C-alpha cells in the first residue's frame, strides 16, 4: 500500500495540515487552526511559539481525522512555512527565549539603515540576492540577542539555536534531536551566500550573529529528522521535505523548466520565476533567491511581490462597504462589461517592485457620473492584474526571456474574471491548478521525492492537474490601451504627483 504524506503549512495567521495520497498527491483531508497575533508596539509583530505549536498539533489531529487515516499510515512529512519569521531557543530545554519576531516586523529598520550607511548593501545584495531590510531574519536575530539578558554570550557558547519556523518545527517534531534548515529558508536570512551555498562568516559578523547558533543547511528533499514524542503521531515518521512557502508553491506548480513562473494571489501577491542553475541579478528591484536544492543541484529564482492584492478586495468590503464578502466581488464586477475607463492603483501600502515608491498612495482615476460600485469592483480586480503585469515584465527583462504561460494559485486565483483579465493583459495563457493551495502541495511533493515515493520530477509532473487555462481574448490595440491607462494612473499615484 502506498500510504500517505502529511503536509504541514505553517503560515502567518494559522497552521494547516493536509493528508495526501502518496500515489497521486490527491488531498484526502485537511484542517486549519488559527493563532493570535501579538503587537507589543506599533510596527512590531510577534508570535507565541506555544500557540503555534498548539495550532500545528491540532491541525495534524484534525486533518488525519478528516482523511480517515491512521497516524501510523503516514510515510513522510513535508513542511512549508512563513519564511523570514525568526526564533531563538535554548538547545537544552527547547524553550524559546523570546517570542518569534514575524517577517512583517519593522523594529530593526534603523539597524538596516546603519548597515547601508556603512557601505555593506552592495556586498549583501551580491552574496544573498536580498536587500538590507528588516523583512529578513538576520537583524531580528541580533535584536533578540541584544534584548534578552545574557543571550549573546550564551549564543556565542553554542547554548542557543536560531532558526526560521521550519527549523523550529523540525526541532519540535524530532523531540529536540535535530537543528537543521533547508536552502530556501537559509536564503532568506541575510546570512547565507546563495552562490557558495554556505553561511557567510563576514555577513554573520556585520549582522552580529554568532556562527554557533546557525542550523545545518540541507537540500529541500531528503531525510531531515524523524518524529519523536509528537502528540497524535507515532515515533519514527520521517520528515523528508522542507521549503519556504513561496518556493514550495513554485515547486507545487511544477515550475521545473527555466522561465516557468507562478503567482500566488493572497493578501498580497508573490511571483517567482525559475532562472535555472545560475542566480540572475535584477536591475528592477527584484530579489534573487534559492528556488530549491535537490541533492547537490541548486535551482534559483527571481522573486517580486505586490503588497496589495486580495487586501484591495478586503478594502472594498471593510473600508467602502461595496460588498459584504470578498467572494461577492466577481459577481458585482460582472454586472458591467468594462471598468468604464476607471483605473484603480492599489498602492494602499505604497508601490513595490518595479516602482519602489513607499510614499505612493492608492488612486482611483477616471470617475464620472456614470461610475457605479460594479465599475469600482471591476477596476479593483484589473488593478491587481496590472501590478502582476508590471512585475512579470520586469522579470522577463532581468531573465532575458519572454514568459510563455503563468501558473496561478492562492485564494484569489479562484476569481475567474481576475484570471481572464490577467491572461488578457499579459497576452499569455494562465493555468489554474485543481488544487490552488499549492504551498502545501509543494511540501508534499518534496517529501514524497525525499522519501522515494516519487521516483523523479517526471512523476510529479504526471500527478499535477490543471483545472482550467485562461487564454487571452483581446487584441494588441485593446491591450495597449489598457496598459497606457494603467501607466498614466501609476504616475499620478507616485510621490508628489497628487497634492
Q: What is the pLDDT of residues 246-281, one digit of tens each?
A: 999 999 999 999 999 999 998 889 999 999 999 999
- Asked whether residue 499 carries a pLDDT value surpassing 70, the answer given is no
The region, left, alpha or beta by phi > 0 then psi within -120 to 50, assigned to residue 250 is alpha
Cell numbers at 481, concatenated: 490601451
When the pLDDT of each residue in the chain is averaged and rounded to a whole number, the result is 92
- Residue 269 C-alpha cell reads as 501577491
Question: Using 50, 70 and 90 to split pLDDT, how confident is the model at 327?
Answer: confident
What is the torsion angle, in degrees rounded to the nearest 10, for the CA atoms of residue 100, residue 106, residue 110 and residue 116?
Answer: 100
Q: Which domains does the chain have, with CATH numbers?
A: 4-236 (3.30.420.40), 254-499 (3.30.420.40)
- Residue 135: predicted pLDDT: 85
129-183 per-position pLDDT tens digit: 998 888 899 999 999 999 999 999 999 999 999 999 999 999 999 999 999 999 9
pLDDT number for residue 498 = 52
pLDDT of residue 106: 85
The grid coordinates listed for 394 are: 520586469
Give the pLDDT of residue 225.
96
**Could you read off the pLDDT of 285-326 as tens digits, one per residue?**
899 999 999 999 999 999 998 888 888 898 899 889 999 988
Q: pLDDT exceeding 90 applies to what percent of the chain?
A: 77
pLDDT surpassing 80 at residue 356: no
Reply yes or no on whether the pLDDT at 496 is more than 80.
no
Cα–Cα separations (whole angstroms), residue 201 to 57, 184, 363: 36, 19, 45
| Predicted pLDDT of residue 495 | 67
- Stretch 343-357: mean pLDDT, rounded? 84
Return the HEC string of the chain: CCCEEEEEEECCCEEEEEEEECCCCCEEEEEEEECCCECCCCCCCEECHHHHHHHHHHHHHHHHHHHCCCHHHEEEEEEEECCCCEEEEECCCCCECCCEECCCCCCCHHHHHHHHHCCCHHHHHHHHCCCCCCCCCHHHHHHHHHHCCCHHHHHHCCCEEEEEHHHHHHHHHCCCCCCEEEHHHHCCCCCEECCCCEECHHHHHHHCCCHHHCCEEECCEEEEEECCCCCCCCCCCEEEEEEEHHHHHHHHCCCCCCCCEEEEECCCEEEEEEEECCCCCCCCCCEEEEEEEECCEEEEEEEEEECCCHHHHHHHHHCCCCCCCCCHHHHHHCCCCCCCCCEEECCECEECCCCCECCCCCEEECCCCCCCHHHHHHHHHHHHHHHHHHHHHHHHHHHCCCCCCEEEECHHHHCHHHHHHHHHHHCCCEEEECCCCHHHHHHHHHHHHHCCCCCCHHHHHHHCCEEEEECCCCCHHHHHHHHHHHHHHHHHHCCCCCC
The pLDDT, as a whole number, for residue 497 is 58
pLDDT at residue 57, rounded to an integer: 96
pLDDT for 73 beyond 80: yes
Q: Would you state the pLDDT for residue 3?
A: 85
Any idea of the CA torsion for 464, 277, 425, 253, to the nearest 10 degrees?
10
pLDDT of res. 463: 84
Give residue-wise pLDDT tens across range 449-481. 999 999 999 989 988 889 999 999 999 999 999
- The Cα–Cα gap between 218 and 184 comes to 9
Amino acid at each position: 500500500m502506498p500510504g500517505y504524506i502529511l503536509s504541514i503549512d505553517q503560515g502567518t495567521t494559522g497552521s494547516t495540515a493536509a493528508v495526501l495520497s502518496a500515489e497521486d498527491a490527491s488531498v484526502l483531508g485537511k484542517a486549519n487552526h488559527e493563532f493570535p497575533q501579538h503587537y507589543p508596539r506599533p510596527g512590531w509583530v510577534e508570535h507565541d511559539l506555544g500557540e503555534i505549536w498548539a495550532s500545528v498539533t491540532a491541525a495534524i489531529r484534525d486533518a488525519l481525522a478528516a482523511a480517515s487515516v491512521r497516524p501510523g499510515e503516514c510515510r513522510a512529512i513535508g513542511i512549508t512555512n512563513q519564511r523570514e519569521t525568526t526564533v531563538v531557543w535554548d538547545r537544552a530545554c527547547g524553550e524559546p527565549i523570546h517570542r518569534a519576531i514575524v517577517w512583517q516586523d519593522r523594529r530593526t529598520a534603523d539597524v538596516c539603515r546603519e548597515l547601508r550607511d556603512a557601505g555593506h548593501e552592495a556586498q549583501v545584495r551580491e552574496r544573498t540576492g536580498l536587500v538590507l531590510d528588516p523583512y529578513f531574519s538576520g537583524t531580528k536575530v541580533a535584536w533578540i540577542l541584544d534584548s534578552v539578558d545574557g543571550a549573546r554570550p550564551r549564543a556565542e557558547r553554542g547554548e542557543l539555536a536560531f532558526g526560521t519556523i521550519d527549523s523550529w518545527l523540525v526541532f519540535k517534531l524530532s523531540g529536540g534531536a535535530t537543528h537543521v534548515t533547508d536552502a530556501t529558508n537559509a536564503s532568506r536570512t541575510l546570512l547565507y551566500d546563495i552562490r557558495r551555498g554556505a553561511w557567510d562568516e563576514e555577513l554573520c559578523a556585520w549582522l552580529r550573529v554568532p556562527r554557533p547558533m546557525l542550523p545545518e543547511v540541507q537540500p529541500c528533499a531528503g531525510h531531515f529528522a524523524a518524529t519523536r514524542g509528537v502528540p497524535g503521531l507515532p515515533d519514527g515518521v520521517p520528515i523528508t521535505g522542507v521549503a519556504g512557502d513561496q518556493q514550495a508553491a513554485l515547486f507545487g506548480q511544477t515550475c521545473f523548466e527555466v522561465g516557468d513562473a507562478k503567482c500566488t494571489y493572497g493578501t498580497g501577491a508573490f511571483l517567482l520565476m525559475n532562472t535555472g542553475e545560475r542566480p540572475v541579478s535584477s536591475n528592477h528591484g527584484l530579489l534573487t533567491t534559492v528556488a530549491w536544492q535537490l541533492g547537490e543541484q541548486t535551482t534559483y529564482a527571481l522573486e517580486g511581490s505586490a503588497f496589495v492584492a486580495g487586501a484591495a478586495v478586503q478594502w472594498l468590503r471593510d473600508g467602502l462597504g461595496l460588498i459584504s464578502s470578498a467572494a461577492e466581488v466577481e459577481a458585482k464586477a460582472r454586472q458591467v462589461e468594462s471598468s468604464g475607463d476607471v483605473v484603480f492603483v492599489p498602492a494602499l501600502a505604497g508601490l513595490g517592485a518595479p516602482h519602489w515608491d513607499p510614499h505612493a498612495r492608492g488612486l482611483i482615476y477616471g470617475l464620472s457620473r456614470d461610475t457605479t460600485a460594479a465599475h469600482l469592483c471591476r477596476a479593483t480586480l484589473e488593478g491587481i492584474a496590472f501590478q502582476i503585469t508590471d512585475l512579470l515584465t520586469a522579470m522577463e527583462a532581468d531573465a532575458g526571456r519572454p514568459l510563455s504561460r503563468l501558473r496561478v494559485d492562492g485564494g484569489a486565483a479562484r476569481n475567474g474574471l481576475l484570471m481572464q483579465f490577467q491572461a488578457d493583459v499579459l497576452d499569455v495563457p494562465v493555468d489554474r491548478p485543481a488544487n490552488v493551495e499549492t504551498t502545501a502541495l509543494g511540501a508534499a511533493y518534496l517529501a514524497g521525492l525525499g522519501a522515494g515515493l516519487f521516483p523523479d520530477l517526471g512523476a510529479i509532473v504526471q500527478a499535477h492537474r490543471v483545472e482550467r487555462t485562461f487564454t487571452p481574448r483581446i487584441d494588441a490595440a485593446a491591450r495597449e490601451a489598457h496598459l497606457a491607462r494603467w501607466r498614466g494612473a501609476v504616475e499620478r499615484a507616485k510621490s508628489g504627483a497628487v497634492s
